[in-house]
Amino acid sequence: MGDDDLVFKALADPTRRFLLDLLFARDGRTLTELESELEMTRFGVMKHLRVLEDAGLVVTRRSGREKHHFLNPVPIRLIHDRWIDKYTERQASALADLKTELEKQP
């Protein structure tokens, strides 16, 4: 299985994206902390974190019996670079901003 495949498979699940959102808002949370934010068993959350870690989207650091999780943005940047070259980046960025802006006021 290719390097990128792990990343895309990891991002394919909404629960895992939500975990990334949580870590994006605040880094360094433990499994139990993250579990409390989800309507799911600890085992489910653990499985998802494992997938994210294998993909390199999440990096961990152990400290005693706790394991802290951190978001790694590099793989996401690589996705961007794969299909957006520096010439079209300005347009894509502008249109993306516009879409975000429009969705703020429904």
Partner DNA sequence: TTGACACGTGACCTTCTGGTCACCTATTCT
Partner DNA sequence: AGAATAGGTGACCAGAAGGTCACGTGTCAA
Q: Smallest Cα–Cα separation from 69: which of 57, 79, 59? A: 59
In the list DNA, a second copy, none, the entry touching 32 (Cβ below 5 to 8 angstroms by class) is DNA
Pseudo-torsion of CA 40, 68, 79, 5, nearest 10°? -60
* Residue 52 interacts with which of DNA, a second copy, none, CB < 5 to 8 Å by class: none
Three-state DSSP class for residue 56: coil
Of 61 and 79, nearer to a second copy (C-beta) is 79
Structure tokens at 100: 């975000």
Among positions 40-99, residues that touch a second copy (CB under 8 A) are 71, 73-74, 76-84, 88-89, 91-93, 95-96, 99
Give the nearest distance from C-beta 73 to a second copy in angstroms. 4
Query: How many helices and strands, by DSSP H and E, does the chain display?
Result: 6, 2
Identify what 78 binds: DNA, a second copy, none; CB under 5 to 8 Å per kind.
a second copy
